[in-house]
Amino acid sequence: MTTPAGLLLVLAVLLPFTGVLLGLVLGGRHAQRVAWVTILLGIGIVLAITRVLLNSGASLVYLLGGWAPPLGVALRADGLSVCMMLVVALVVGAVGVYANGDFGTPAGQSEARAPLAFWLLLLAVWGSLNLVFVSGDIFTLYVALELLTFAGVPLVALDGRAETLQAALRYLVYALLGSMFYLLGTFLLYGAYGTLDIALLAARVGSQPVTWMAAALMTAGLLAKTALFPLHLWLPPAHAGAPAAASALLSALVIKGAWFLVVRLWVDVFAGIVTLPAAQLLAALGASAIIVGNIVALRQARLKLLIAYSTVAQIGYLFLMFPLVQALNAMRLDTAAAVTGGVLQAISHATAKAAMFMAAGLIYSTLGHDRMADLRGAGRALPMTITAFALAGASLIGLPPSGGFLAKWLLLSAAIATAQWWWVLVMLVGGLLTSAYVFMVVVRAMAPAAPGWSPKKQVPGYQQAAVLGLALCSFLLGLAALLPVDMAQIGRTVAPLVGSP
Amino acid sequence: MSDALHLALIALLLALAFWTVVARETFAAVAGFVSYGLLLTLAWVALSAVDVALTEAAIGAGLTGALLIGAASRLRKTEAAARTEWPGRATRVLAAIVASAVAAAIAACVLLLPDPAPTLAPEVAQNLASTGVGNPITAVLMSFRAMDTMLEAIVLLFGLIAIWSLASDRYWGGRPGLAPVYEPNGILAYLARVLPPIGIVVGIYILWVGADYPGGKFQGGTVLAAMWLLLMMSGLHDAPAVSRRWVRLVLIGGPAVFILVGVLGVFVANAFLAYPAGFAKPLIIVIEVALLPSLAVTLTLLLIGPPQRSESPP
Amino acid sequence: MNAPTLFGLCAAVLVGLGLYGLIVHPQPLRKVLSFNLIGSGVFLVCAVIARRGAAAGVGGDPVPQALLITAIVVAFAASALAVALMLRQCDETGSNSLSSDPGPAPAKPPADGEA
């Protein structure tokens, strides 16, 4: 049944898409204005959804066209969805402020390519992600993933250099193969159970070969899209080659769409089907990503590539939650800590990584390059930005009171409760490696500049403020532990406990 | 069709698919793929999916074929260099093992699908009357799962924005595709004068019957797109500059009307994308008619690529 | 063995062939061709599922058939984007490859409106 205020979910998806349509027709400078009106309204809608969720303590549901599943399509938002929608709204807002500096239409031109494309794609990414978070139908989710691909790929090649075109093409090939596998899994599930609705599927799926195959295909496809090791090769050139604001969107948000879907499938749909060894395989890939990504990050000669490899590593943390959830489930313990830990990791990485990429963009503008060997003077010219980089780094490392700290704390305690101490070890080693490269960047940036050096370009204060604001959010996110309710768990009545054997 | 015909069709399909993968020349592979796409249309007919057959013939074989042939001829000069990157034997063996394993697993799944198969056909039939349309697929696309169709129109638009964003800065706002060469006595010019009036009638007819019989806006839109492409190729008409306001209005017209009718449903039928009783069919036709030009223009522009010359000829 | 099952097995082989082509071919255009082969195999699986669900007087379950129309249109847009990317890359560098080594230096930018 449609719940009161369920219409807000439709608005959260449609508003950004309507913004794209309007921006395309009006063009030029107007596209940027349309984007800003949409961002402000969109943030309002997400806050309203949050309020309804907290007040009612239950999921929001909307039946599109009044048709109930299995015939119709339902939109649903539980605590997980709303947490993700909140962080996406926050990051989109901050990236929007930052992009005002880089993507204004030049004076004397009625319309320029990159600014128009950027503002339209920003809204496109936002609407697609909101759709991923609220869609209750696995085929609509396929369309949402494709929307996200078409919005993400051009962001990579926005400045038109040949190597970014190549990176975009490689990204597209991975993403398309991923969607095809996901789609095949969707069809198989329909063939076996006659529904595409997540809630109905969760009630109907049984442990049988077709289900395993569908789960394997969908998971493999989504892993390619989210760039989990060893399917990560497309990510570093794509994320490092894009303009800073676009890198922030891609690294902080776009990859989380496919990851969120893995969580939906493993925790909600296939809860009783996936086994502990399968979940451990997923986490083992995550652990390899953490180690490999961090070590390769340490050896990068350019700051943006370092940050991109750090994303490869941080994606790994996002997959450590699966064996923990599975094991807690098997022991008939509450899985809340592991699920909340995983979501919190996604949220703190989104805010921290967006801040880091934008900080790197400011450093690039100021120094005229981003070579690791010569970051001297950046600290003097951009004190706020280097502070932001350090705070975001602290969140990635997991220092208190950051969001990263709380996330890792929840995951660590779940690992200890289920006696899976090896994940604890991986997390600690990963934290040490992360602190090494964050420290390296900050120390080099603090070195005094060569005598007579002056910044290549003065960056506007509001860009620095946007970066610092986002980094502060990430750093203070750990205080969420003081909140009276665990928002991520609201509406999660399809408790995985029912599914386990 | 009899079983022997099915087997022959399957054998041909597999042979052409094999050729597409192993052919040495990319151009030959593309040619194989286009014939494969046309043949695949028969497979949909054999599986009683006539609407899908029409879509496949129009978009899967027709537009995709034209797209790939154009790309293959423009990329011919890079062929020799690319061939030196051919992977070693170990990679090929590994790829063959992975591909066979996936194929075997899918085959097993096909054999293990439950019998009797779950189906929503009875539910669709039961609720068909309230949508006012006679074609159950149109009912699914425009009523039960109208959201997917709306999003699909938006996907196409995102694809076009993505392609346009690849333009080089100096041609932004200019015309896509190559400059037309008009040969008044050529066969293309002749066809371009004769076919479009017929094509437009056929396209609109396919849209119109789609409410009750196989057909619809995607298939009709493709026919219109083909006519427009013919006009461009013959040189009778040039592609419009991407900065033109009318082009953009036509592009967003269909999705915008879809969204507006959806929002109207909130007020008069209590749900987004719901139709008030008795008005379902007219509203569905309003949406389809609005989508037709949008889809035709979007599909055409997707095919001819980003702007690559200034608006006025130098 | 009935017709839907035969086509289902054919679909499995098509996905396998496409996957092999996608992995081994270095040229992006061949990868797009292979992607389309995989796609057609996946769509064929869906059509088989629709055919098996024939009931209530229709020759196939209309829901998967409708999904199929959506998926075919989306796949076309994906191919168009991939082709646009590789043609642009070819214009910029004169090469068309996905390997990390930079291709041969561009001879000269292609003339405008070249046929």
Q: What is the pLDDT of residues A10-56, one digit of tens each?
A: 999 999 999 999 999 998 899 999 999 999 999 999 999 999 999 99
- Say what the alpha-carbon torsion angle A260, A264, A265, A270 is, to the nearest 10 degrees: 150
Going by their DSSP bridges, the two strands A74-77 and B175-176 should be labelled as: unpaired
Find where tokens 């509001």 sit.
A462
Under DSSP, is residue A60 helix (H, G, I), strand (E, B) or coil?
Answer: strand
In this predicted structure, what is the pLDDT of residue C114? Answer: 33
Indicate if the pLDDT at residue C105 is higher than 70.
Answer: no
Q: In sequence order, which residues have a C-beta less than 8 Å from that of residue C66 and are 6 or more positions away? A: B137, B140, B141, B145, B148
- Helices A383-397 + A421-446 axis angle, to 10: 170
Answer for the pair A450, A376: CB distance below 8 angstroms, yes or no. yes
Contacts of C100 in chain A (CB under 8 A): 237
The H or E element spanning position A62 is strand A60-63
In this predicted structure, what is the pLDDT of residue C96? Answer: 67
Of B51, B82, B136, the CB nearest to C96: B82
In this predicted structure, what is the pLDDT of residue A395? Answer: 93
**Is A203 touching B (CB cutoff 8 A)?**
no
Is the previous residue joined to B116 through a cis bond, with omega within 30 degrees of 0? Answer: yes
Cα three-residue angle A350-A344-A409, rounded to 5 degrees? 125
Bigger pLDDT: A392 vs B208: A392
Contacts of C9 in chain B (CB under 8 A): 107, 110-111
Contacts of C78 in chain A (CB under 8 A): 146, 149-150, 172, 176, 179
Q: In sequence order, which residues have a C-beta less than 8 Å from that of residue A457 and are 6 or more positions away? A: A365, A366, A368
Answer for the pair B288, B254: CB distance below 8 angstroms, yes or no. no
pLDDT-derived band at C103, boundaries 50, 70, 90 = very low
In this predicted structure, what is the pLDDT of residue C100? Answer: 52
In this predicted structure, what is the pLDDT of residue C97? Answer: 67
Under DSSP, is residue C61 helix (H, G, I), strand (E, B) or coil?
Answer: coil
pLDDT-derived band at A495, boundaries 50, 70, 90 = very low
Strands (E), A81-170: none
Nearest to A285 by CA among A259, A250, A247: A259
Contacts of A180 in chain C (CB under 8 A): 35, 38-39, 42
Read off the pLDDT of residues B29-70 as tens digits, 9 standing for 90 and up.
Answer: 999 999 999 999 999 998 888 888 888 888 888 889 989 998
Q: Which of A123-137, A479-493, B211-225 has the highest mean pLDDT?
A: A123-137
Distances (CA, A) of B116 to A72, B244, C12, C44: 23, 55, 21, 19
Contacts of C49 in chain A (CB under 8 A): 187-188, 190-191
Read off the pLDDT of residues C49-102 as tens digits, 9 standing for 90 and up.
Answer: 999 988 777 788 999 999 999 999 999 999 999 999 999 888 887 766 666 544
Read off the pLDDT of residues C30-49 as tens digits, 9 standing for 90 and up.
Answer: 999 999 999 999 999 999 99
As a whole number, mean pLDDT of residues A121-132 equals 97
Find where tokens 């007579």 sit.
A452
Of C35, C64, C70, the CB nearest to A176: C35
Largest CA distance in chain C: 64
Q: Given an 8 Å threshold on Cβ–Cβ distance, is B161 in contact with A64? A: no
Interface test with A, best of C5, C68, C89, C99 (most A CBs within 10 A): C89
Residue A498 gets which letter from DSSP?
A: G
Answer for the pair B167, B306: CB distance below 8 angstroms, yes or no. yes
CB atoms within 10 A of CB B313: 9
Answer for the pair B182, B189: CB distance below 8 angstroms, yes or no. yes
Q: In sequence order, which residues have a C-beta less than 8 Å from that of residue B108 and are 6 or more positions away? A: A209, A213
Answer for the pair B99, C22: CB distance below 8 angstroms, yes or no. no
Average predicted confidence (pLDDT) for chain A: 91
Alpha-helical segments (H) within chain C = 3-24, 28-52, 62-93
In this predicted structure, what is the pLDDT of residue C66? Answer: 93
Indicate if the pLDDT at residue A197 is higher than 90.
Answer: yes
DSSP notation for A405-426: HHHHHHHHHHHHHTT-HHHHHH
Indicate if the pLDDT at residue A497 is higher than 50.
Answer: no
Indicate if the pLDDT at residue A486 is higher than 80.
Answer: no
Distance, CA of B203 to CA of B218 (rounded, Å): 10
Contacts of A11 in chain B (CB under 8 A): none
CB atoms within 10 A of CB A414: 28
**pTM of the full structure:** 0.94
Q: Which chain A residues touch C if contact means CB-CB below 8 Å?
A: 71, 139, 142-143, 146, 149-150, 153, 157, 160-163, 165-166, 168-170, 172-173, 176-177, 179-180, 183-184, 187-188, 190-191, 194, 237
Indicate if the pLDDT at residue A500 is higher than 50.
Answer: no
In this predicted structure, what is the pLDDT of residue C112? Answer: 38
Q: Show pLDDT as tens, one digit a residue, over chain B (314 residues).
A: 578 888 999 999 999 999 999 988 888 999 999 999 999 999 999 888 888 888 888 888 888 998 999 899 888 877 777 667 778 888 899 999 999 999 999 999 999 998 888 999 888 988 988 888 888 899 999 999 999 999 999 999 999 999 999 988 888 888 887 777 777 777 778 888 888 888 888 888 888 887 787 778 888 888 888 888 888 888 788 888 888 889 999 999 999 999 999 999 999 998 999 999 889 989 999 999 999 999 999 999 999 989 988 876 54
DSSP notation for A461-495: HHHHHHHHHHHHHHHHGGGGGGSSS-GGGTT--S-
Answer for the pair C69, B56: CB distance below 8 angstroms, yes or no. no
As a whole number, mean pLDDT of residues A377-381 equals 87
Cα three-residue angle A9-A13-A19, rounded to 5 degrees? 135
Instruction: Find, in chain A, the residue whose alpha carbon is nearest to that of C79.
Output: A176
As a whole number, mean pLDDT of residues A290-313 equals 93
Q: In sequence order, which residues have a C-beta less than 8 Å from that of residue C108 and are 6 or more positions away? A: none
Bigger pLDDT: A295 vs A494: A295
In this predicted structure, what is the pLDDT of residue A288? Answer: 94
**C-alpha B188: how far from chain center:** 23
Contacts of C88 in chain A (CB under 8 A): 157, 165
Both tokens of residue B8? Answer: 């022959």
Indicate if the pLDDT at residue A480 is higher than 70.
Answer: yes
In this predicted structure, what is the pLDDT of residue C115? Answer: 30
Indicate if the pLDDT at residue A268 is higher than 90.
Answer: no
Find where tokens 């057909």 sit.
B215
Answer for the pair B162, A150: CB distance below 8 angstroms, yes or no. yes
Q: Which chains touch C (3 or more CB pairs under 8 A)?
A: A, B
Answer for the pair A148, A128: CB distance below 8 angstroms, yes or no. yes
CA distance B159 to chain C (A): 6
Of B3, B30, B309, the CB nearest to C112: B309
Distance, CA of A434 to CA of A223 (rounded, Å): 23
Q: Given an 8 Å threshold on Cβ–Cβ distance, is C84 in contact with B314? A: no
Nearest to A61 by CA among A482, A459, A493, A473: A493
**Is C4 touching B (CB cutoff 8 A)?**
yes
- Expressed in angstroms, the distance from the first to the final Cα of chain A is 30
